[in-house]
Amino acid sequence: MTTTFRHPDILEIARREGRVTVDELAERFGVTSQTIRRDLTSLTRTGALQRVHGGAVLAAGVSNLEYEARRRLNATGKQAIGRAAAARIPDGASVFLDIGTTSEAVARGLSAHRGLMVVTNNLHVAEIFRAGSSGEVIITGGSLRATDNGLVGPLTVQSIESFRFDYAVLACSAVDEVGDLLDYDLDEVHVGRALLRRARQVILVVDRSKFRRTAPVRIANLADVGCVISDAALPQELAALCERAGATVEIAVPA
């Protein structure tokens, strides 16, 4: 297999898992570690990957991955998170689901619940419930973001301020080493901050790839949420932060 053919496969693995390692790629492709290092160096020069010790991660920056790439990234982990989050929300609850492919996994997990009041600024979430839920679905106002069918802006925040949710499911693009929840879009950050004010319990849904990325805008901190659900153990310092803050941490193991 030539370098030209390896590169798309390496990028696909990175999108799916959030990280690639030299040893695993060398074994997968049947080439030497030095060959893989050259591949990763080449992909780093194009801006697709960022080198870390032992391998590479998706490149950090000030813009997010395209929507379909985010949907494919660690899909099995997000499904597990979605099921775990849904299990914490009872029938008859009021719940807000925000923009993000992990929030959509939660929506699929909730599709068999009954009597929910679902409020969302995510048209993909609304479509999931339209197809299978007997509960009420309310879509916020706001400006439609064509890249991911999300609604953002002052009207979205104003809509959220009209409610007091039992649960809010919050996603983010990255979690840094001090536990700050980060995103790329300032309008989306304002939505997340409004949820923290208007929900009795906030469930942060964050798959393992988010601990290997960065983003420029701060939403809040892990200490500000009541429950964190991930598909892998949190880094030690972040787990300790959650323990000090009294936040519940659940590891959802993919099937």
Q: What global pTM score does this model have?
A: 0.76
For 162-190, what is the mean pLDDT?
94
195 in the same domain as 86: yes
Which residues, other chains included, contact 187 with Cβ-Cβ below 8 Å and sequence gap of 6+? 143, 152, 153, 156
Last residue of a domain, one of 14, 36, 58: 58
Range of the domain at 247: 67-251
**In this predicted model, what pLDDT tens digit does every residue of 185-232 receive, in sequence order?**
899 999 999 999 999 999 999 998 888 678 899 999 999 999 999 999
13 in the same domain as 87: no
161 in the same domain as 93: yes
pLDDT of res. 229: 98
Mean pLDDT of all residues belonging to the chain = 89
Last residue of a domain, one of 40, 58, 76: 58
123 in the same domain as 13: no
Tell the residue number behind the tokens 């920056």, with chain if given: 61
Q: How many CB atoms lie within 10 A of CB 71?
A: 18
Confidence category of residue 1, pLDDT binned at 50, 70, 90: very low
Token pair in block for residue 194: 């409004």
Q: How many domains does one find in the chain?
A: 2
pLDDT at 65 over 70: no
CATH number assigned to the domain comprising residue 79 = 3.40.50.1360
126 in the same domain as 86: yes
